[in-house]
Structure formats: C-alpha cells, structure tokens
Structure 1
C-alpha cells in the first residue's frame, strides 16, 4: 500500500501539471479567431483533400512560434469570405492584397509576398491598353470583391462580377467578355486547369503590384496583431523560409 500511494501521487501530479498548459492554449485569444481562405494557388489551396500553400504553411509555422495549437481553416469562395471578414467579429482572412482602399477596413499582418494583378485578353483579339482609360467600352469581368474588381470599380469602369476565377476565364474564352482582371498567378493556374493553351492569352496592362497580407477584423486586439507579426518575422528570418518560398514560387 505504501508503494502504491506514492505512485498514485506521482501520476496525479503529472496530470495536474499538464492541465495549465492545455488550459492556457485554449484560452489564448488566437484560438478564438475564425480563419478563412479561398482557393488561390500557390498561396492557399487544397491538395489531396488537405489545405496547403505558402500562406497556409506560414500560418501554421506562426502558430507553432506562438505556442498555439493548429486551428481549423475554413475554405470559402472569395466573395463570401470577404463579406464575412467585413461583418463577422474575430476573423482572419488570407491571402489579401493590401490596397489603399482596403487599408482602413482591416488590421494587417505581413507581408507574405508581393502579388501582381493584370488585365488579360485573348491574343487573337489583338487588343491593347496602356491605362485604365483605355479600358473604357471594354466588356470586363473580375471575381467579386477581389483587388482587381475594386480597382475597376474605383476607376468607374463597369464590369461583370463573377463568382470564381474559372468562371471568369470561361467568360473570356467564350467571347462573353473582352478581358479578365485577375491576379497573375491565379489566372495562369486556373487557365491551365481548364486546359487552355498557354499562348492563348496575353496580359495587356498591370493594375497593381501590392503585397499580400493576413487581414484581421478591426476588433482584433492590437496586442494580438503584434504577436502574429512577431511570429511571422521570426519565421521568415529562419533558414527554412527560403526553402518554403522555392517550394511554392519556383
């Protein structure tokens, strides 16, 4: 009996010692956020049923740096995710272009990488443009609420909003529009996935080259934003970061 009692006390001590660490993880404010993203290769996308990509892997490394257990990431079409990020409290939306128009609407952690948004046409149409004014009268499309759609809207250019990148590209190939305004990486990825020949399209102008960020809802505490930024800075200064970039961008 005397031998059993110390063993029992030892087991109880180990179990009790583990409780504060687990409780601390559950009460961490980073676990009370809703993380949302879209299909946006190579930043965030599904492969073999698992969410992956440069931004997804960065976020997972940031959680480890912060001592936060891996959190669920919800996948939505971008228009829905963007609307939820605007309205719902305690949300994180990525990967998002940080533009002047969006800047006051969110709190930001980044940059992740610098992106490029362009206007694409069919090469066979022989269209050209040097400025937004040259696009006047064109039949344009862009995915709703993406950076390119916001740029067209702010310039007073009418466009047809599409629900997804592949829908926008199909509109172009079926001659329903003259041009698609879209992130360059995303355009080439979805065009290839649709089986479109590489030389079928051409970019006629660049709309923006803004950086991509993690966008947090405005109600996120500033102290938590600083924690995420410190974690990202730590991750990107480690030797393995270059390997991560090469994996997804080269």
Structure 2
C-alpha cells in the first residue's frame, strides 16, 4: 500500500509539472477583467481546454510585454491571443487560429485636417502612438514608418489621442470599437477612411521548449471543442 501511495504521488507530481500556465492580457471582448474575475471569448475557450485536460492552473493576466517575455523565456507557459508573424514563428509553438483581427488607424473626431486614405498619408503625420513588442508595431516598422511613439499603457495611448497629443492610434477594429462604446467614446474617436492595413489570425503561443506531447494534447482538445459545437456556443455568449 505504501509503495502504491508513493507511486501515485510521483505520478501526480509529474503530471503537475507538465501543466501549462496560461498567460494573457486585458483585451475585450476576448479577455475581460471584472470584479468577478476573468471572462471573454478566449478566456472561456482556454478554461474549456483546461477542463478537458485536467489543467488546474489559474489564468494569469499581465501587461502584454511582460506576458510575452515570460512565455518567450520560461518553459511551461503559454500566451493567448498572439499573432504569428515570420519573426515570431520560430520563437514559439502554436495552436490555432483561435480568432482574427483587422488593424486600422483611429483619430480624434475633431481632427478634420487628418484625411488618411493611404499608408503614405499616415506616414506624413507627426505622431502615431503604438505599443512596442506587438505585431502592429512590427508591421508598421516593416512598412517604413518613422513617426511611431512607443507607449506601453493602453489608457495613456487613448488619453493622448483624446487630448490630441498624438495624431493616430492603430488598433484592432472590433476590440477597439467595443472598448470605445463601453466608455461612451465612440463619437469622439473614429476610424480613418483608410481600410485595415493589417489582418492576422490569433493563436495560443507556447514556449518553444514545450514538449510536443503537450502541444498535441492542447491541439486535440481545441479541435474537439470546435467539432462538438462548444466553440460556437462560446462565441454566442459575447
């Protein structure tokens, strides 16, 4: 009996050591932080995957840059939702796509002087405020933008746009408009005429040293969730 107990304890410790710690950022309607905890499309999805795999790790919410760097450097971590670029592809292991984004420029509604129809128009403004270490920042740099104002705090970026201390703010159309409506700012901040300059699918990114068996388990659980209709039910909630 004692030998059996020790064996079961060892198996439990081994299993726990393989449990992935999911990290994310606040990003409605995918990841919503409120007084009751975390909710949202991707939160519910990750929790469903965890339930099916027996993963009991509590999802942790951090600023994007911190969550990205932790997942990049430490085995046992996964970050969602994450765009997969050519630069990032070899840095992580991936599952998805989970969702997709369309990034376009937004401006203060009072700025009648800003008539942005092309990328060249956007390159001529004085300042575009953007978060560093994001796919949006990487894309704008690749496109040759020299007028980027890097700012890590979402509230600071929005406030600078509201106060006309920056000209443009690039953001995912769906999530940014959702947040503007929640703050009753959808009349003060508007998308420019130019359509989305970047479209991307979103994934779960795992530290590159994560075992292939773990990736296979997470992938299988995600595919089951899509196949049995659970994923569609999650979308319907939001």
- Same fold by TM (over 0.5)? yes
> For the aligned residues, what is the CA RMSD?
2.6
Other-structure match for 1:57: 44
When residues 92 and 192 of structure 1 are mapped into structure 2, their CA distance, relative to the original with a 3 A threshold, is: same
Instruction: Provide structure 1 residue ranges, at least 5 long, that are not aligned to the other structure.
Output: 1-13
1:148 alignment partner, SS class: helix
Other-structure match for 2:144: 156
1:175 alignment partner, SS class: coil
When residues 241 and 197 of structure 1 are mapped into structure 2, their CA distance, relative to the original with a 3 A threshold, is: closer
Q: Say yes or no: does 1:133 pair with 2:120.
A: yes
User: Greater CA deviation, 169-178 or 137-146?
Assistant: 137-146
Q: Specify the structure having the higher radius of gyration (Cα).
A: 1
Instruction: Provide structure 2 residue ranges, at least 5 long, that are not aligned to the other structure.
Output: none
Per-residue displacement from partner, 1:183-207 (whole Å, max 9, x unpaired)? 2233223323443143641243312
Per-residue displacement from partner, 1:190-234 (whole Å, max 9, x unpaired)? 323443143641243312221111011111112211111111000
Q: Say yes or no: does 1:216 pair with 2:202.
A: no
Runs of 4+ in 1 over 6 A off after TM superposition: 16-22
Q: TM-score, normalised by structure 1?
A: 0.82
Aligned residue pair count: 234
When residues 65 and 163 of structure 1 are mapped into structure 2, their CA distance, relative to the original with a 3 A threshold, is: same
When residues 148 and 173 of structure 1 are mapped into structure 2, their CA distance, relative to the original with a 3 A threshold, is: same
2:33 alignment partner, SS class: strand
Q: Could you say which structure has the higher helix fraction? A: 1
